[in-house]
Amino acid sequence: MEYDHPNALEFLRKDCINVNNYFRRRHSVAVLTGKELFDFVTDLSITDANVDDYLDAVMKTASERSPDDVSRLEADEAVTKSAALLNRTHILSRCISCQGLAVAQ
């Protein structure tokens, strides 16, 4: 997948969730949330010089989470994603309406 593909970030987000699910379910290890992993992969401020410190900090946080904490964080991420999709759909609908085009319902 090329980085400039229109859906590249959405595919990456889904990959982060799938990787986390695999390691949590198959190996019962503490993992970052999907958002935390996505942020790690896409954060340009993380360099070779600071990656170890960054990973130590986030993995300490992840290892201290209870299963209830993980479930709550995942639910929060799902709500945030749904709200973002609804907002994008609303904006697109408004843009199409402003151009005088019919929107299929």
Choose between 101 and 55: higher pLDDT.
Answer: 55
Q: What pLDDT, on a 0 to 100 scale, did the predictor assign at position 53? A: 97
Please determine, looking at this structure, whether the domain spanning 1-65 carries the CATH number 1.10.510.10: yes
**Using an 8 Å Cβ cutoff, are 36 and 24 in contact?**
no
CA triple 52-56-57, angle to 5 deg = 120
Contact 58, 72 (CB under 8 A): no
Q: Would the pLDDT of 103 be above 90?
A: no
pLDDT tier at 50 (50, 70, 90 boundaries)? very high
Phi, psi of 80 (to 5 degrees): -60, -45
Give the per-residue pLDDT at 82. 58
First to last CA, the chain: 32
Token pair for 25: 């379910």
* 57: pLDDT strictly greater than 90: yes
One-letter amino acid of 15: D
Task: Domain ranges for the chain, please list them.
Answer: 1-65, 66-105
Q: Is the pLDDT of residue 48 over 70?
A: yes
